C-alpha cells in the first residue's frame, strides 16, 4: 500500500506554505536554478490534490482522479525530476548522475504501467489514506529501485548539500520502515515536502558545511587547550 498523510487541514496548510516558498524562490532564483525553485510549487500542487482527496473520499470520479493525481507526482514525477535537477546543477558529476536520470525514467515507466493495468482502491486506515495496489513502499524490490532513483543522484553529487540531503533521505526512510513498512509512506510524503524547501537553498547548506569544516580544527584546538588548562588547575 502507498499512504498519504495526516488530514485535509494538514494537506492544505502544507500546500499553502509550499506555494509561498516556491513562488518566492521562483521569482528570485537565477535562470540556471529555475527548475530547482519550481520543486516546492509542484509539491504544493501534490499536497492540494491530497487535500481534495480527503474532501471527496468515496465520491466516485473525483476521489479516483485525486488518487491518480497524487500517485502521478509520487511515482512518476519525483523519480525523474529529482535526479534530473541534480544532473542539471552538478556539471562535474553529470557522467555519473546520468545513470540515475535513466533509472528514474525506467522507474516512472514501470509505475505508469502499474497505474494503467492494476485496479486502484483508495481506503482510509487510521489517520492515513492508503492505496491498493501499491506504490514502492509495499513491494520491496520496487522500493529499492525507487529509492535508488530518487536518492542515488543526491548521494553521488559533488555538491555537499545534495549529499547531506541524500543521507537524510535514507536515514528517514530507514527509520520509518523500521517502525512500520505499510505506513512509512505517510511520513515519507511529509519529508518530501520538507526536502523540497531544503533543496531551494542548497548553496546555503553548502556554505554552512564549509564553515563547519573550516571551524572544526579551531574547535578541536580550543577543546584540547581547555582540557590542558583544566588539568593544570587540578594539579595545583
Q: Is residue 224, in this structure, part of any structural domain at all?
A: no
pLDDT at 198: 60
How many other β-carbons are positioned within 10 Å of the β-carbon of residue 55?
14
Q: Is residue 225, in this structure, part of any structural domain at all?
A: no
- Strands (E) located in 43-186: 121-125, 128-132
pLDDT at 103: 96
Q: Is residue 130, in this structure, part of any structural domain at all?
A: yes
pLDDT, tens only, 55-76: 888 777 888 888 899 889 988 9
Alpha helices in the chain (DSSP H): 8-28, 34-37, 39-55, 61-71, 78-89, 94-117, 140-156, 160-179, 184-200, 202-235
Going by pLDDT thresholds of 50, 70 and 90, the confidence category of residue 1 is very low
Q: Is residue 208, in this structure, part of any structural domain at all?
A: no
Grid coordinates in use for 87? 544532473
SS3 content of the chain, % helix, strand, coil (to 5): 80, 5, 15
Going by pLDDT thresholds of 50, 70 and 90, the confidence category of residue 230 is very low
Question: Is the confidence at residue 80, as pLDDT, over 90?
Answer: yes
Helix orientation angle between 94-117 and 140-156, rounded to the nearest 10 degrees: 150
* Mode of pairing for the β-strands spanning 2-4 and 121-125: unpaired
- Smallest Cα–Cα separation from 64: which of 7, 120, 112? 120
Q: Is residue 33, in this structure, part of any structural domain at all?
A: yes
Question: Is the confidence at residue 88, as pLDDT, over 70?
Answer: yes
Q: Specify the higher pLDDT residue, 98 or 41.
A: 98
Cα–Cα distance for residue pair 44/35, rounded to 1 Å = 15
User: Any idea which of 2-11, 87-96, 171-180, 211-220 has the lowest mean pLDDT?
Assistant: 211-220
pLDDT, tens only, 114-162: 888 888 877 776 667 777 765 555 566 788 898 899 999 999 999 887 8
- Our count of domains for the chain comes to 1
Q: Specify the higher pLDDT residue, 118 or 175.
A: 118
Q: Is residue 236, in this structure, part of any structural domain at all?
A: no
H or E segment at 2? strand 2-4
Give the domain extent around 35.
2-200
Q: Is residue 99, in this structure, part of any structural domain at all?
A: yes
pLDDT at 102: 97
The distance in angstroms from the start CA to the end CA of the chain is 67
Helix orientation angle between 61-71 and 94-117, rounded to the nearest 10 degrees: 160
- Strands (E) located in 18-126: 121-125
- Within a 13 Å sphere around the CA of 48, how many CA atoms are in the beta-carbon half? 11
Question: Is the confidence at residue 176, as pLDDT, over 70?
Answer: no
Average pLDDT over residues 85-90: 91
Question: Is the confidence at residue 209, as pLDDT, over 70?
Answer: no
Q: Is residue 217, in this structure, part of any structural domain at all?
A: no
Cα–Cα distance for residue pair 139/154, rounded to 1 Å = 23
Amino acid at each position: 500500500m502507498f499512504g498519504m498523510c495526516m488530514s485535509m487541514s494538514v494537506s492544505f496548510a502544507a500546500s499553502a506554505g509550499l506555494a509561498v516558498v516556491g513562488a518566492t524562490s521562483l521569482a528570485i532564483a537565477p535562470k540556471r536554478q529555475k527548475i530547482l525553485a519550481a520543486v516546492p510549487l509542484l509539491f504544493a500542487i501534490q499536497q492540494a490534490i491530497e487535500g481534495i482527496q480527503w474532501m471527496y473520499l468515496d465520491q466516485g470520479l473525483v476521489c479516483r482522479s485525486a488518487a491518480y493525481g497524487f500517485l502521478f507526482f509520487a511515482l512518476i514525477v519525483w523519480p525523474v525530476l529529482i535526479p534530473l535537477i541534480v544532473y542539471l546543477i552538478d556539471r562535474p558529476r553529470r557522467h555519473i548522475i546520468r545513470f540515475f536520470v535513466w533509472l528514474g525514467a525506467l522507474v516512472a515507466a514501470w509505475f505508469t504501467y502499474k497505474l494503467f493495468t492494476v485496479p486502484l482502491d483508495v481506503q482510509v486506515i487510521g489517520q492515513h489514506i492508503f492505496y491498493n495496489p501499491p506504490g514502492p513502499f509495499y513491494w520491496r524490490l520496487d522500493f529499492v529501485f525507487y529509492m535508488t532513483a530518487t536518492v542515488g543522484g543526491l548521494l553521488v553529487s559533488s555538491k555537499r548539500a545534495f549529499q547531506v540531503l541524500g543521507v537524510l533521505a535514507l536515514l528517514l526512510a530507514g527509520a520509518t520502515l523500521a517502525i512500520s513498512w505499510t505506513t512509512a509512506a505517510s511520513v515519507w510524503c511529509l519529508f518530501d515536502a520538507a526536502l523540497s524547501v531544503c533543496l531551494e537553498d542548497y548553496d546555503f547548506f553548502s556554505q554552512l558545511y564549509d564553515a563547519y569544516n573550516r571551524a572544526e580544527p579551531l574547535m578541536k584546538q580550543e577543546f584540547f587547550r581547555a582540557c590542558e588548562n583544566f588539568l593544570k588547575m587540578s594539579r595545583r
